[in-house]
Amino acid sequence: MSNVIHLLTRRPIQSPQEVLPRPEECLACFVHRMVGLQGCSDALRWVEQFRVHRARRATALTRRLTAQGARCDCSVTDVVWRVGPELWEWAWDGRLVPPEVVPPCRGVRPNSTQPCRHWVAADELAM
């Protein structure tokens, strides 16, 4: 039943597991997945969720991302990092666009706040 609710409203009842970073999941994949699942927090709350569970000592994380131009969760995977060009897809109108759903994370080591190989620095991506 909860699957039906999820598909129609895109607002599933939060199960604690669903809103936690998966083992080895990187910050970028986690934040992107949460924004798709639950929406942007209009702050860096999903970033902070990741930090608390996966990189507790990275206390400067939100400050660092803010300095890189992130204003909220969704801008982390738009302004700071972007999906690498090899994952972009052709849209119906012939434009090359980032995929809405990113493939499963390639994984990062524990305590890392770096993105996995799916992501590149946004300012390096010259399309």
Nearest to 74 by CA among 116, 122, 118, 112: 122
Task: Return the beta strands (E) in 30-100 as ranges.
Answer: 81-83, 89-90, 96-97
Q: Are 53 and 19 in contact (CB under 8 A)?
A: no
Q: Whole-number minimum distance, CB 123 to Zn ion, in Å? A: 19
Per-residue x/- marks for Zn ion, 32-51, CB under 5 A?
Answer: --------x-----------
Asked if 65 touches Zn ion (CB under 5 A), the answer is: no
Size of the site for Zn ion (CB under 5 A): 7
Q: Which residues would be at the binding site for Zn ion (CB under 5 A)?
A: 26, 29, 40, 72, 74, 105, 116
